Amino acid sequence: MIPRIALTPGEPAGIGPDITLAAAGQAWNAEIVAVCDPELLRTRARQLNLAVDLVEFEPNAAPQPHQPGTLKVRPIALAASCTAGSLNPANAQYVIDTLHCAVDGCMDKTFSAMVTAPVQKSIINDAGIAFSGHTELLAERTGTARVVMMLACDELRVALATTHLPLRDVPDAITGELLSETLHIVHSDLQSKFGIAAPRIAVLGLNPHAGEGGHLGHEEIDVIIPALEQLKRQGLQLLGPLPADTAFNRKALANCDAVFAMYHDQGLPTLKYAGFGNAVNITLGLPVIRTSVDHGTALDLAGAGKAAPDSLFTALRTALDMSTNDLRTSA
């Protein structure tokens, strides 16, 4: 069972093509298919003095393990020429088209998973295309009502109840319905896509000291604890709510498979301290497997041979492991 993984290089002027070419130089027990303009890769390979044999993707052929120095490509043409480090809004729709192609291919089972390199949200919006991020586009394209962002590194997995919200809006967003839906998604995907039979999830409180019995806020008493008790009765193994300032210690983490944080900057600073550059962004709750790098387009590094591909390698390994688990479950 060889997974076939779609890789979207993201913003063509950024480091996405560079790290895609770096991935092509490695051995993978999966078929890697770059969804992009092959001429973009050829131009960037010459700029980086890299040798890579680009082969047009044949969807009807059986998947084969990736061979270093080669790369299969599902061609999608750029709208305009591309210079490394120089954004061009004319290519914004091209970026969207590569994402649509990859996710549609996952939906029809052409691909087992998709891995995304970084995009430049600002230039897509400058082109007049409403775009708030990969996650929202993939949720809309697949008709998914609720998704969960989870970042992971070797030592830690952190899932988020809320993502890109101003802090003043977070307490109102934390409802029993939200906690029930998102924790069920985390529990289910840890089982099906990570092979963890009985996931243990540490849930952080919203307030300092998890509210300190109501002295530092009532969200734990009024919303979080009742929701967790109901979920425990449904069979979920949940710890908490825990004070966020003491939850991230090795002894506590040894007894859980993931940490569930209430908001973005409550959980991710620790995760990124532990694994920045080697972490992976995973979208849970989708009907497809999607992983991504944990960094941006780094326009100043594009074409300079200085882009570190470690996060992309981690994203590919994670997608490979998740899709292998998925294939075994489906067999």
Residue list, annotated binding site: 134-135, 164, 209, 264, 272, 281, 290
Indicate the annotated binding residues for substrate: 134-135, 272, 281, 290
Encode 127-157: b = buried (16+ Cβ within 10 Å), e = exposed.
Answer: beeebeebbebbbebbebeebbbbbbbeebb
Contact 85, 300 (CB under 8 A): yes
Indicate the annotated binding residues for a divalent metal cation: 164, 209, 264
Which H, E and C letters describe the chain, residue by residue? CCCEEEEECCCCCCCHHHHHHHHHCCCECCEEEEEECHHHHHHHHHHHCCCCEEEECCCCCCCCCECCCEEEEEECCCCCCCECCECCHHHHHHHHHHHHHHHHHHHCCCCCEEEECCCCHHHHHHCCCCCCCHHHHHHHHHCCCCCEEEEECCCCEEEECCCCCCHHHHHHHCCHHHHHHHHHHHHHHHHHCCCCCCCEEEEECCCHHHHHHHCCCCHHHHHHHHHHHHHHHCCCEEEEEECHHHHCCHHHHCCCCEEEECCHHHHHHHHHHHHCCCCEEEEECCCCCEEECCCCCCHHHCCCCCCCCHHHHHHHHHHHHHHHHHHHHHC
What's the order of all strands across the beta sheet hosting 4-8?
Answer: 53-56, 70-75, 31-36, 4-8, 113-116, 290-292, 280-284, 148-152, 157-160, 258-261, 200-204, 237-242
